[in-house]
Amino acid sequence: MKTSTFFVLFFLSLNLCFSQENNAPSLEQSENLQPIYTQRKNIPKFAPTSLIFRNFQFQYERVLNRRFSAALTYSTIPEGEFPFQDLLVENSGEDVELERYLENSSLKYSSFTPEIRIYFGDGYGKGFYLAPFYRHTEYEIRDLQFYYDTDEGGEEMVTTSGDLSSNTFGLQVGSQFNLGNRLVLDWFIIGPHYGTARGDLEGRSTETLSETEQKDLDESLSDIDFPVGDFSHEVTSRGARIKLDGPWAGIRAGIAIGYRF
């Protein structure tokens, strides 16, 4: 299913739920008996904890009734170095190649995450919740450098760039608190998600690679330990192509601050 089609169906289902809520009798018909926050069903939010990853994360939640709400989250990382790049290199120990791979590289990221929340307890967007969700993510990776030994005894590199996208499904466990009648704190306790990813990185050499040089570059790429996905590569006399096609996983967690209206 195309991503755009999925979002259309998601919002159509949201409107259907909202229409059913308006036409069916509910506790909200006696608003004077309900806490004031139950009448404020729109909650835009911002997640300050994501900033440690240089990630700007925004969410809009619409409370549908006591038990259900729908939310859409947008996240973006502006183009720049990989988050925690220095820490990644430091923790790589003796793997000095990682520092060279990332030396001049950059990453750009964006994701859309629609979800349906099921609230327990008081409800109306308050309390413990479970939220099945779908996430579509796009990565733009630029200038990853891979080195090989030349026939002349020196060293050259192939600079690769490309895009990667993933589609995952998961379940968010969280709790949302009221900080007064309008402010809320949304705690994303844990949200594992799993799916598939596909991407290609391609780089061309400025010189034609000999068979010996191709073999050395192939060995360099074979040493890469990619944590998820099926990683493969192809080396030719003109450069290299890296392909990722397979399983993908991640975890959602953090804290967001919102405003009810």
Tell me the per-residue pLDDT of 139-192, one tens digit each, with 9 for 90 and over: 999 998 888 899 988 888 899 999 999 999 999 999 999 998 899 999 999 999
Q: How confident is the model at residue 27 (pLDDT cuts 50, 70, 90)?
A: very low
Is residue 28 situated within a structural domain? Answer: no
- What confidence score (pLDDT) does residue 128 get? 97
Please give the full DSSP string across 48-109, using - where no structure is assigned: GGGGGGT-EEEEEEEE-SSSEEEEEEEEEEEEESPTTHHHHHHHTTT-HHHHHHHTT-EEEE
Is residue 30 situated within a structural domain? Answer: no
Is residue 35 situated within a structural domain? Answer: no
- What confidence score (pLDDT) does residue 220 get? 84
Is residue 79 situated within a structural domain? Answer: yes
Q: What is the reported pTM?
A: 0.79
Which residue's structure tokens are 């820490």?
87
- Please give the sequence-ordered ranges of beta strands (E in DSSP) within the chain, or none if there are none: 42-46, 56-63, 68-80, 106-119, 127-149, 155-179, 183-204, 231-236, 239-259
- What confidence score (pLDDT) does residue 102 get? 76
Distance (Å, rounded) from C-alpha 253 to C-alpha 255?
7
Write the pLDDT tens digit of every residue in 208-256: 999 999 999 998 888 777 666 678 899 999 999 999 899 999 999 999 9
Which residue's structure tokens are 């809520």?
21
Is residue 66 situated within a structural domain? Answer: yes
* Cα 183–chain centre separation: 26
DSSP state for residue 155 in the 8-state scheme: E
For residues 31-35, give the mean pLDDT.
67
For residues 110-122, give the mean pLDDT.
96
Is residue 193 situated within a structural domain? Answer: yes
Distance (Å, rounded) from C-alpha 260 to C-alpha 125?
10
Is residue 34 situated within a structural domain? Answer: no
Per the structure, the count of domains in the chain is 1
Mean pLDDT of the chain: 85
Write the pLDDT tens digit of every residue in 3-24: 555 454 454 455 544 444 444 4
Domain extent at residue 51: 3-22+44-259
Is residue 38 situated within a structural domain? Answer: no
The backbone torsions φ and ψ at residue 218, rounded to the nearest 5 degrees and listed phi first, read -60, -40
Write the pLDDT tens digit of every residue in 42-64: 999 999 999 998 999 999 999 99
For residues 69-91, give the mean pLDDT.
82
